[in-house]
Each structure stands twice: as C-alpha cells, then as structure tokens.
Chain A
Amino acid sequence: MSRLYAFLGAVLAVLLILPLFLDKYTLGILIMIFFYAYLGQSWNILTGYTGHISLGHALYVGLGAYTSTFLAQKYGVSPWIGMWLGALTAMAVGLVIGYLGFRFGLKGVYFVILTIAFAEITRLIISHIEALGGFSGIFLDFKPGFWNFQFRGNLAYYYISLGFMCFAAVVVRVLEVSRLGRFMVAVREDEEAAQALGVDSLRCSMIAIALSAFMTALAGTFYANYIYYLHPDQIMGMGLSIELILRPIVGGLGTVLGPILGSFILTPLSEIARSYFSKGGLEGLHLILYGLLAILVVLFMRRGVLHYLRRAVKPILRPGRDG
C-alpha cells in the first residue's frame, strides 16, 4: 500500500508544479477534471458506499451555487462564508429527502425517482423566483479578489479545485476505513443482514446523504464563481445529475480512486470532443459518445476501470493483497 501512497504523492507533486508549463486552455480542462472528480467523489459516498442511488445530485450543486451567490449579491457575504451556508442548506434538504426515502422504505428505482422528483421540483420553483434570476438565471459580476472568490486567469481556480479533489479523497478514505464506513458498506451489501447484526442502517444512510449533499453543494459555489453564470436548467437539471454520476461509475463505484480515475478518463474526452465537434457544428456528438461509453463500461467492465487496472498493477504494489 505504501507504494501506492508514494505513487499518489508523486502524482500530486506533479499536479502542483504542472501549471508552470501549461496554458490557460489546458488548465481549464484540468480544472474540470478536478471539479468532476470532486462531484463524483461526493456522490460516491451516498451511492458507491451506502448503495442508495441518487439521480438528483444536481439539486445540491444548485443549492450551493444559488445560496452563496444570492448572499454575495444581496448582502455582500463572501462566497467563502456563503459556501458553508449553501452546504448546510443542501444538507438539510438532503436529510429531508433521505428521511422520506429511507424511513418510508423507498428502495432502488423508487428512491431514484424520489431524488429526481425533488431535484425537478426545486429547479422549477427556483426558475420562478425573480430574486434568484428566474428562467434567465443569474450573471455574476466579475470583481476579482480573494474575498470575492473570483480570480483573473485560471491559476487560482486550478489550485482551489485541486484542493477540493484531494480534500474529498481524504474524507472518503478516512470514512472508508472507519467503523461508520464499514457499516455503510454493510448496508449497501445487504441492509437486512446489517440490521440483524446491529447496524443502525437508517442512521448510516442519513449520515451518508447529509455528508454527500454537504460536499456536493461546496462544488456549486466553486462552479458559480468559475463560470460567473447560473442557469437553473444547467446547474440543477437532469443533465448535470447524469454527467456527475458517469465518472465514478466508469472509474469504479465505492472506491476512493474510482471517481478520480473516471474523471481523468472522461473529462478530457468530453471537453476536447465538445470543443472539437461544436466547431464543426456537431454539438451533442460528445454526449452520444459518452452515453455509448457508459453503456459499454456497464456491459463489459461492470466493476469500473479501476478494478481491472488494480488487477494489472497489483503485483507491483503489493503481492497477495487487494487494496
């Protein structure tokens, strides 16, 4: 295992000095890689570890983005503070959804539909609130400065998003090896058996959705202050909810490195394909390729790319033990 940590440390060191050699466009792609890795990691806590499938995670991204932006525009609250309030809002909503879902025993597909329904209801309501920009969304004024969470160029965003990604990975790793994390996996594998052994599955599930919603919302604030534009259909729509689950699924659900690996595979593909195809008037093609890839991965590499990669490099890391 220590070789793996050494390898990851080396990768991190490279990522830390990499901006010295890259232009703005390439930095932008890396930022999106980190951003989606972070989102995928946050979703991974609920779905990968605890087994409750959420297809409405854009809801939390949107809540984070709208809360911090609204507070910044209306009351001049720094997004650095607003992001935590947004995360708390998202956490509260997540707890409500979780309580309804888990307490009333909505399993599998029913829970999926519940998460979609809440995301869609919230999106529609926000689209009708004038103070939040309504259908046309909110444009953020560009006022660069640390306090405003806005910066010239991509360098600061690069380090912030890198920090986000590492933070999420550490949180999930700590969770994974903790007692709580083991309980969550037990709930995922067989909820009734876990309960029979004394695991409080409701409590585990509630903690998972709270943490997941909280972390997801933080990314919303980042996104708002990186793009300077909030549109309810984009930041709370089904499209984003689908986007953000594909990376962990491709990389490997329920693993720390899966969402990161998935993002490093899929995000450059999608970013490059998007700009390449839309130049030729072929917008949408990158999402078609994307969908095909997701289907192929599920059909032929059900456990995610990481699983196969791990098997390939296992002899190097530590023979005879699966990380």
Chain B
Amino acid sequence: MALAGQLLIQGLLMGGIYGLIAVGLSLIFGVMGVINFAHGPMIVVGMYAAYWILTALGLDPYLSLVIVAGVMFLLGYLIQFSVINRILDFPEAMQVVPLVSVGLILENALLLFFGPDHHSPETALGLASFQLGPVMVDLSRLLAFGLAIVVTLAIFLFLKKSDLGKAIRAAADNRVGAQLVGIKVDRINNISFGLGAATTGAAGALLLPLMPVSPYLGHDFTMIAFVVVILGGMGNLVGALVGGLILGVAESGSTLFLQPTLKHVVSFGILVLIMLFKPQGLFAGSK
C-alpha cells in the first residue's frame, strides 16, 4: 500500500511537468496546426541551458527558470519566424521534415557543445525529501510540480485575460477572421511558438535536478508530449494538464509490474489506443 501511495505521488508530481510540456505543444498545434516534432530536443536545450547557468554562474535551476524560458522564447520566435511561417500552407508530409530537422539540428548542436556524456549536476535541494504519512516526497520533485502548475496557470490566465492572449485565441479559432479584425497573424504565430518554446525551457529547468541530462533525451520527451496531448485532445490546454497527470500516474504505476526502462511501452501503448478509439482525446468537446 505504501508502495502504491509512493508511486501515485511520484506519478502525480512527474505528471505536472508532463502537463507543462504538453501545454506548449498543444498551444503550438492549436494556433498553427503544426505538430512540433522538435519539442523534445527543445526541452533538452532548456535542460542544458539551465545546466550551463548552474555550472557557470552557480544559479539554481529554480531561479534560472525565468532566464531559460526567456531564452527559449527567443529561440522559438526565431524558429517560427525563419522556418515555420513559410511551411504553414505545405502538405503535411512537407511540414514534418523541417520540424524533424530542427530537432536534429538542436540535438546535434548539444552533442557538439556538451559531448555525449550524461551530466547530473548538484543542485541546492539535491535529494532532500520529507515524510508525508507513509510516503517519502522528494522536495525537488514537489517544487518542480508546484512550479510547473504555476507556469501552466500563468499561461492560461495570459491567454484568457490579456489582449495578446485573446488575439492568440482568436487566431487559433479563425485565422481569416482574426486577420480581418486587424490581428497580425504572422506575429501571433511567432509569439505562440515562442510561448510554446518557453514552456519547454521552463520544463527543462525543472527537469534538470530530476534526471541526468544527455543530448539524446529529446525523442522520449517528444513522444511523451505527443501522448499527453493526444490524451487530452489536440489544442485543448486543460486536457493537456490533466493528460499529463494521468500519464505520470500510469507510467509510475506500470513500474509495479514492469522494469522502469519499459514504462514508455505503456505510454506509447496508451497513445496508440487513444488514437484508434478516441482520437479527439478523452475530454472531447470541452475546449
């Protein structure tokens, strides 16, 4: 029972970060209708940025989160501006290639600058944990979860309340209509992709204390983000958050009867089943 409780807590805490990752992917899809195949590598770039700031400046990832998110926003803005705005009208096959290529470039740029080795830097919290009833809670996981939720909520509020957020939602809803009322859709695209990229940066900073970083983590993150977004429904931001929690618990629970290295088999399995039987996501229609 204690073990199950432990796994549930761990799953939920990880799920918060999954949710954050997926919100970015979902936002990008919602506004532009493209699937960001470079999402995972962008998270890894965020992790390395936080790692570099930690080792060079001694700034803890929880503090550098804002900087990393800002840097990723710029990177995302640039990618959208230079590549993705040009491919929005392409057939899907042709959209996949540039995005996959962006991922390939990011991944190998990291390999070039940081080498193939795993790094797991000491952070301030390290392995600190506390006892909550029968379960142990890692402080760094709890903090990551809390911050992930805060960032996600901040994005919700931004989209709901601010003028820019409303413009983004308008562009997602109806591109032509948005253009007609004077919204510069190209610029909205840049900002949306930047925002999506900023969430990957924040997630990267939060993930750094939790797992060793290496250039090749990207594909797994991309797939996780796909699973969560498809669980929650493409373009559905609340669904993405809930989907993240579900997936976190499912993966964590699967370690009860599978080796931990096989947990992604469970998530990819869920992915296939959801795509086949509930392609609009679990919460279809509640956008």
Contacts and interface: CB of A to CB of B under 8 A. Distances in A.
Contacts of A291: 101-102, 104-105, 108
A108 B219 CA distance: 19
B94 A298 contact: yes
7 contacts: A109-B35, A117-B223, A120-B264, A125-B265, A284-B108, A284-B111, A295-B97
A292 B226 CA distance: 24
Contacts of A109: 35, 92, 96
Interface string A244-271: 0110010001000000000000000000
B109 to A, nearest CB: 6
A117 B111 CA distance: 25
A299 B105 CA distance: 16
Interface in B222-236: 223, 226, 230
Contacts of A127: 261
A290 B271 CA distance: 30
Contacts of B112: 282-285, 288
Contacts of A116: 223, 226
Contact of B275 (A110, A284, A287): A110
Contacts of A53: 92-93, 96
A283 B215 CA distance: 12
B93 A299 contact: no
B156 interface: no
Given A113-B230, A242-B100, 18 more contacts: A51-B93, A55-B96, A100-B272, A108-B92, A112-B35, A118-B272, A121-B265, A121-B272, A124-B261, A124-B262, A124-B265, A124-B268, A285-B108, A288-B105, A291-B101, A292-B105, A295-B83, A299-B83
A114 interface: yes
Contacts of B226: 113, 116
Contacts of B5: none
Interface in A92-111: 100, 104, 106, 108-110
B90 interface: yes
A294 B272 contact: no
Interface of B is mostly: helix
Contact of B97 (A110, A128, A285, A294): A294
Interface of A: 47, 51, 53, 55, 100, 104, 106, 108-110, 112-114, 116-118, 120-121, 124-125, 127-128, 237-238, 242, 245-246, 249, 253, 282-285, 287-288, 290-292, 294-295, 298-299, 302
Contact of B271 (A51, A113, A246, A249): A113
A60 to B, nearest CB: 17
Contact of A117 (B35, B90, B268): B268
Interface of A is mostly: helix
B268 A120 contact: yes
B224 to A, nearest CB: 11
Contact of A299 (B87, B92, B215): B87
Contacts of A295: 83, 97-98, 101-102
B286 interface: no
A113 B267 CA distance: 13
Interface of B: 35, 83, 86-87, 90, 92-94, 96-98, 100-102, 104-105, 107-109, 111-112, 116, 215, 219, 223, 226, 230, 259, 261-262, 264-265, 268-269, 271-272, 275-276, 279
B83 to A, nearest CB: 6
Contact of A124 (B92, B116, B264): B264
A117 B215 CA distance: 21
Nearest to B29: A109
Contacts of B100: 55, 242
Contacts of B261: 124, 127-128
Nearest to B38: A291
Contacts of A237: 219
Nearest to A119: B268
Contacts of A302: 90, 94
Nearest to B92: A108
A282 to B, nearest CB: 6
Contacts of A288: 104-105, 108-109, 112
Nearest to A292: B105
Contacts of B92: 53, 108-109, 112
Contacts of A246: 97
A245 B97 contact: yes
B93 A117 contact: no
B272 A114 contact: yes
A132 to B, nearest CB: 15
Contact of B96 (A112, A120, A238, A283): A112
A193 to B, nearest CB: 16
